[in-house]
Structure 1
Amino acid sequence: MRDPAPIPATEVPDLVLARALYRIGAVALVARDVASLTRFYSGIIGLRIVSREADTVRLGEGDTVLLVLRHDPSARHWRSTEAGLFHTAFRLPSRGDLGVWLRHAEACGITLTGAADHLVSEAVYLTDPEGNGIEIYVDRPSSEWQWTEDGSVVMRNERLDHAGLVRAADRPWSGMPPGSCVGHVHLQVGDLDATERFYAGLLGFDVMCRYPGALFLGAGGYHHQLAGNVWNSRDAAVRTDGATGLAEVELLADGGTLATVRIRCRDAGVSFVEDGNTLVVRDPWGTQLRMKLGPAH
């Protein structure tokens, strides 16, 4: 198959993600050393400190919080075979932005753990000082995504055009650019059938792609706002509190979606906590999802 064309550095991103019924708000992590993680996410990833409290640091782009670090020096280290976070994926607005970040990461001596052209996006991977996975990526325009006859989006792991990305860099590094967001969160789960029943059947996500050992779930035609895999965590038990790593994923939704999920949870006997326009529910492995009315909805 012919390699997909690179994303033009000057292209304005389309709005398929912004218009989706679900979007990722902020991701919360439990940190043993919150100062170290704050330095990493601000200095390396490029987030700015939005607010700081005694045990909590909120970081983001502009005034929008994308990451919350909760300090717990006594937390046990999360094990990679447990359910939890595979990676938090920060979506940059343009290919040039990813090139700028790559030059910055290289200058800082950061070692990437992976890189791929997924056809729908170009992505690089790394881990933070406490082992939390991170993806930095840029989407191809949705008009260029490929689809199968059953309506699934085509995603693969092709070789990344690293040199082309670096050539697309057109400015010095100055932190995460305006318009950046958490595009998706990839979870470790214990079972894909249970993942589909919960995230598609209960929350209403569409299954966008079935991949060996993984399920990609999207809303509004986006390739995925959430994903789950069993590559390291097949048959994982329900998570226990008191570990480092993922504490919560915030999902922004419209009022109709929240109302529908509330009814489905009640009908299915799934426990939830409700507070105004916020609905808190846990997936089958105890990962907490805070669903709230999004600012654009």
Structure 2
Amino acid sequence: MTAIIHPSTKLGSVSLRIRNLAQSVRFYTEVVGLRMLRQHGRIAELTADGKRPLLIIEEVQDLVISQTRTAGLYHFAILVPDREALGLALANLIAHNIPVGQGDHLVSEALYINDPDGNGIEIYADRPKDTWKRDANGEYVMTTDPVDVEGLLALSQGKEWHGLPDGTVIGHVHFHVSDLDKARAFYCDVLGFELTAHYGGAALFISAGGYHHHIGLNVWAGIGVPNTPRNAAGMEDYTIELPSREALEEVVSRIREAGLQVEQRDSTFTVQDPSDIWIRLAVA
């Protein structure tokens, strides 16, 4: 039987490569609604609760914006606690004249924007879990319908924007990949995430503990596309948080058994996924 990652596994912070730290700090604080936690050199750590970083951005000299389709970050997703918070976020995006994509996925309502370096961002709110539906194969039913924008904005009327509220977390990450089978083998067979939905041979959604998805994988950029080069804007790493040292060591053991290189740095372990994105494995 294939090993399954601990059901209480969540995602932690996301790190991005960006070109201009001051510009990105303004964007992520004024537009997205995060707050500065600390800054050291060309690195800024941003937070929602004032205690732990959700986003780490690093200014990289001579960084380029990739002009070709590559495997790597599609978007990272910021999960807010409720629809009111999503409505307030939407009103603030509109106030800043930010182009906004949107999608009602049945399990959630989502807004999509890009940062100044083209890194994709989703800001979303989940619907109550007891409303999520599964199909005959046991997979979650998800789609992309229009969001009730007027309803969201009505929730924000008469309320003041104070940025993203406490309880905001990184809900999921979504990647373009060059080979869906290899990505599934790494994330499901090795790390132990479970399949929750798939769309033909083009996209997979996987999670821990029955969430609709902690990770999305797709070949929408093309099969066999190269990975995003290290000198281009994109995701540097992200964190998978396990609930105990034992749960962490079980995952690390599977990585080693698969013949993959894993490095230990203090109390965390790091491994690269097939898209050359570093993953930090840590105890929450």
Q: TM-score, normalised by structure 2?
A: 0.93
Q: Where in structure 1 are there 5+ consecutive unaligned residues? A: 1-18
Q: Tell me, yes or no, if the aligned pair for 2:206 and 2:213 is still in contact at 8 Å.
A: yes
Q: Which amino acid aligns with 1:269?
A: G
Matching residue of 2:256: 266
Q: Distance in 2 between matches of 1:275 and 1:45?
A: 31
2:21 corresponds to 1:34: yes
Q: Tell me, yes or no, if the aligned pair for 2:72 and 2:227 is still in contact at 8 Å.
A: no
2:187 corresponds to 1:187: no
Post-superposition shift, 1:20?
Answer: 4.3
RMSD, aligned CA? 1.5
Q: Distance in 1 between matches of 2:94 and 2:230?
A: 36
Q: Distance in 2 between matches of 1:244 and 1:158?
A: 30
Q: Tell me, yes or no, if the aligned pair for 1:21 and 1:257 is still in contact at 8 Å.
A: no
Q: Distance in 2 between matches of 1:227 and 1:183?
A: 11
Matching residue of 2:150: 163
The alpha-carbon distance between structure 1 residues 269 and 146, as it changes in their structure 2 partners (threshold 3 A), is same
The alpha-carbon distance between structure 1 residues 205 and 41, as it changes in their structure 2 partners (threshold 3 A), is same
Correspondence for 2:86 among 98, 102, 105: 98
Q: Tell me, yes or no, if the aligned pair for 1:26 and 1:66 is still in contact at 8 Å.
A: yes
- Give the fraction of aligned pairs with identical amino acids, expressed as a percent: 35
Q: Distance in 1 between matches of 2:219 and 2:111?
A: 21
Number of positions where the alignment pairs a residue of Structure 1 with one of Structure 2: 275
Query: Larger deviation: 87-96 or 247-256?
Result: 247-256
Q: Tell me, yes or no, if the aligned pair for 1:117 and 1:158 is still in contact at 8 Å.
A: yes
Post-superposition shift, 1:173?
Answer: 0.7
Matching residue of 2:225: 236
Matching residue of 1:216: 205
2:126 corresponds to 1:139: yes
Q: Distance in 2 between matches of 1:80 and 1:223?
A: 30
Correspondence for 1:61 among 48, 67, 90: 48
Look up the SS of the partner of 1:175 in the other structure.
coil
Post-superposition shift, 1:237?
Answer: 2.8
Q: Tell me, yes or no, if the aligned pair for 1:60 and 1:67 is still in contact at 8 Å.
A: yes
Matching residue of 2:237: 248
Post-superposition shift, 1:211?
Answer: 1.8
Look up the SS of the partner of 1:138 in the other structure.
strand
Q: Which amino acid aligns with 2:53?
A: V
Q: Distance in 2 between matches of 1:177 and 1:278?
A: 28
Q: Distance in 2 between matches of 1:284 and 1:50?
A: 31
The alpha-carbon distance between structure 1 residues 104 and 198, as it changes in their structure 2 partners (threshold 3 A), is same
Q: Where in structure 2 are there 5+ consecutive unaligned residues? A: 1-5
Structure 1, residues 63-109: CA drift from partner, whole Å, max 9, x if none? 22010011112123234511111011111101011111111111111
Correspondence for 1:204 among 192, 196, 204: 192
Q: Distance in 2 between matches of 1:29 and 1:123?
A: 21
Q: TM-score, normalised by structure 1?
A: 0.89
Q: Tell me, yes or no, if the aligned pair for 2:11 and 2:239 is still in contact at 8 Å.
A: yes
2:61 corresponds to 1:73: yes
Structure 1, residues 242-288: CA drift from partner, whole Å, max 9, x if none? 22211001111132332122221221111110234311001112111
Q: Tell me, yes or no, if the aligned pair for 1:77 and 1:243 is still in contact at 8 Å.
A: yes
